[in-house]
Structure 1
Amino acid sequence: MATVQVKNLNKTYNPTTIPVKDISLTVEDNEFLTLLGPSGCGKSTTLRLIAGLEEPTRGQIMIGDRDVTALKPGDRNISMVFQSYALYPHMTVYENMASALRLRNMTDGEIKQRVSEASRFLDLREDLMNRKPGQLSGGQRQRVALGRALVRQPDVFLLDEPLSNLDALLRERVRAEIKQLFEKQNTPVVYVTHDQVEAMTLSTKVAVLYEGNVQQLAPPSELYSRPANQFVAGFVGSPQMNLLTLHCQGQTARLGQGKLPLPSGLAKPPRQVVLGVRPEDMRLAEESDSIRFPGEVFLVENLGMQNLLSVRLTPAEGGAAPIEVRSLLPSDLDWGGDNIELAVSPERLHWFDVESGDRLG
């Protein structure tokens, strides 16, 4: 097996177009790293640099103990699965899976064994092996693309948004298959997506990218529970985190009619701060809650097992206009009409600097 190391990777097209800015990361054996971010953040360019499909402006790419920065894609011993599947339309399933092995001058017996093992692993029935891609469903074509990658037994797997062309139900099923598939491999995986559900469910580590920079590199649970900055907080999580700019009064910040304690250890209390609170962490207030946020429900979105409530919090006397928040409550919970009182546990709050966006505390 081989570790993938990316050191100070940069790609510059011109002074105003720099999709990758000094990215460094490591993917160990048996690790599944997802590059996550919005369109144009540099995630696909980073993957193409690792694959050798693009040449870096500067930086180094190591696979195992080999410096592959200047090597052609075919000399890196990688397998790549593309968004468009990239299957040969005139070849059968068997021929598509075997094509890369023929280039290695392997014997027919060796090729047949590898293709047979991969097809059984991916549940590609024998009657499909003589069909051409045009005769397959989207999910079957995706399995063939994965099978073609598996038979090569590469040092690293690279996957570029492989589920984006599938409908929602099929995407969910194939996502589960990919997770089971790569849990049985010891090979490093680098996966690109803008879909946070894919990133959170598939990965052992996630690198959140924005404007060519890594904003945070961490396990999925840490991204969710302790986002490093305001961008990660707003990008990771569905429904999106409530991000509210609040005025501070000493060591507290006012939200509606409630006062919240600022995180301890601040050298100097700020004048303003950004509060982040996830909709699923806002709940109906109970008698034991000392901090409550009365408000008015103005929109209810039924999500099946839960309702997403949009609430205008009642401002303090003489305060500014009402602040709007969203709260995720069980669908069988009766909140008592248009008026509601919400609460949140202090340990569930996230605080960010207004100017830098970095996490406080």
Structure 2
Amino acid sequence: MARLELKNLNKTFSPKVVPVKDISLTVEDGEFLTLLGPSGCGKSTVLRMIAGLEEPTRGQVVLGGEEITFRRPGDRNMAMVFQSYALYPHMTVAENLASGLKLKNVPRAEIKQRVAEVAQLLGLEELLNRKPGQMSGGQRQRVAVGRALVRQAQVFLLDEPLSNLDALLRERVRADLKQIFATQKAPVVYVTHDQTEAMTLSSKVAVLNNGYVQQLAPPDRIYSHPANLFVAGFVGSPQMNLLTLPCRGRYALLGNFQIPLLDIPTVPPQIVLGIRPENVRVARPEDEYIIQGRVFLVEHLGMHNLVSVRVNGAHSESEPQTVRALLPTDQVWSNEEIKLALPPQNIHWFDVESGDSLVGRQRVQTMS
């Protein structure tokens, strides 16, 4: 097993097309790193450079202390699972699993043993004689993963492997993948635009946008301490409330209400307040930061209602400030005045121009 290092990777197709501008990160043995970001952020291009399917314009790919930047894909001892499964339709499951080993001239007895072990691990024993056209999407995906596992590679690469599955099947296969790769000790690099996959599967997440890593951290840290506005808005469902507010003295003004800026050395003319809907609650008498407004939209989400509230005194009627809250379904909210609490330990502050976080939640907690 080996550490995978990416050093200042850049991929330039033309002066106007630079999907990867400068990316550096490290994946240790046993780590599951997810490259998360919207379409066009560079995540699949990074994966292809790791695999050797694209050559970097600049930068290095290092595996186990050895540079492999320009080594051929077949010489990298990496296994890749594609979005389209990429199974041979004329071969059985057993033949698909064994195909990569045969190309490497692995002895027949060892091939048989490895195929049997992977088939048992993935629950494919009864499918070994079937062809891909005779199987469901979830079964084909397990075969694609099995073909990667049977190689016993140094690194596993997965390019949006669940995107072709329906929602229920995706949830089941996602749980399977988490268990399967928990038993592997090799680095795993997983590409997706689905934040649920990133948060549930990963030991570490790299959020990408515009060719750069916006934040690299464990999933819980990404969620609770977003480094900038992009990460705050991209990670989390429902999306974080992000409100651009004017400042006066040591306060941010949200409509008729003042919110103290407790731990910001230099207060700017404007600031962005961020708070997740699940952290906004119906106000209690003992709450410190209370706002009031009128409910104008209620979205039923099963266990909760997503309630949208126009804050009193916030801008004009044509440009109101809206706060969304995840509230229990035991009360019906419809076009009525409501008081909401914004717990100070859950508030994030961001710079309007750079988008960078101005204060971490942990420091707010010590001041409040």
Shift of 1:291: 2.5
Partners of 2:115 and 2:150 within 8 A in 1: yes
Determine which of 351, 354, 367 is the counterpart of 1:356: 354
One-letter code of the match for 1:174?
V
Q: Does 1:35 align with 2:35?
A: yes
CA distance in 2, matches of 1:206, 1:277: 21
Q: Does 1:346 align with 2:363?
A: no
CA distance in 2, matches of 1:319, 1:107: 75
Partners of 1:275 and 1:352 within 8 A in 2: yes
Q: Does 1:309 align with 2:307?
A: yes
CA distance in 2, matches of 1:135, 1:320: 57
One-letter code of the match for 2:305?
N
- Residue equivalent to 1:46: 46
Determine which of 315, 321, 331 is the counterpart of 1:323: 321
Partners of 1:34 and 1:192 within 8 A in 2: yes
- Residue equivalent to 1:152: 151
CA distance in 1, matches of 2:56, 2:49: 6
One-letter code of the match for 2:179?
Q
- Residue equivalent to 1:3: 3
**TM-score, normalised with respect to structure 1:** 0.97
Partners of 2:292 and 2:337 within 8 A in 1: yes
Q: What does the per-residue CA deviation read over 1:94-140, in whole Å, with 9 as the maximum and x for residues that have no partner?
A: 000000001111122110100000010001132x1111101100000
Shift of 1:334: 5.2
- Residue equivalent to 2:216: 217
CA distance in 2, matches of 1:223, 1:317: 32
3-state secondary structure, aligned to 2:358: coil
Q: Please list, as runs of the form range in 1=range in 2, the aligned pairs for 1:177-196 lying within 5 A after superposition.
A: 177-196=176-195
Q: What does the per-residue CA deviation read over 1:129-180, in whole Å, with 9 as the maximum and x for residues that have no partner?
A: 1111011000000000000000000000000000000000000000000001
CA distance in 1, matches of 2:300, 2:213: 35
Q: Does 1:296 align with 2:300?
A: no
Partners of 1:263 and 1:351 within 8 A in 2: no
3-state secondary structure, aligned to 1:347: helix
Shift of 1:66: 1.9
Q: Cα distance 1:63–1:314, how it changes in 2: closer, same or farther (>3 A)?
A: same
Unaligned segments of structure 1, at least 5 residues: none
- Residue equivalent to 2:248: 249
- Residue equivalent to 2:362: none
3-state secondary structure, aligned to 1:237: coil
- Residue equivalent to 1:17: 17
Shift of 1:293: 1.1
Root mean square deviation of aligned Cα: 1.5
Shift of 1:248: 0.2
One-letter code of the match for 1:76?
R
One-letter code of the match for 1:343?
A
Q: Cα distance 1:263–1:56, how it changes in 2: closer, same or farther (>3 A)?
A: farther
State, as a whole percentage, how many aligned pairs show the same letter.
Answer: 66
Shift of 1:332: 2.2
Partners of 1:243 and 1:276 within 8 A in 2: yes
Q: Please list, as runs of the form range in 1=range in 2, the aligned pairs for 1:40-119 lying within 5 A after superposition.
A: 40-119=40-119
Q: Cα distance 1:200–1:340, how it changes in 2: closer, same or farther (>3 A)?
A: same
3-state secondary structure, aligned to 1:7: strand
Shift of 1:353: 0.4
Q: Cα distance 1:219–1:85, how it changes in 2: closer, same or farther (>3 A)?
A: same
- Residue equivalent to 2:366: none
Q: How many residues align?
A: 359
3-state secondary structure, aligned to 2:207: strand
Runs of 4+ in 1 over 6 A off after TM superposition: 316-320
Q: Cα distance 1:57–1:321, how it changes in 2: closer, same or farther (>3 A)?
A: closer
3-state secondary structure, aligned to 1:360: strand
3-state secondary structure, aligned to 2:46: helix
Q: What does the per-residue CA deviation read over 1:59-94, in whole Å, with 9 as the maximum and x for residues that have no partner?
A: 000111221101010000000000000000111100
- Residue equivalent to 2:202: 203
One-letter code of the match for 1:328?
L
One-letter code of the match for 2:66?
R
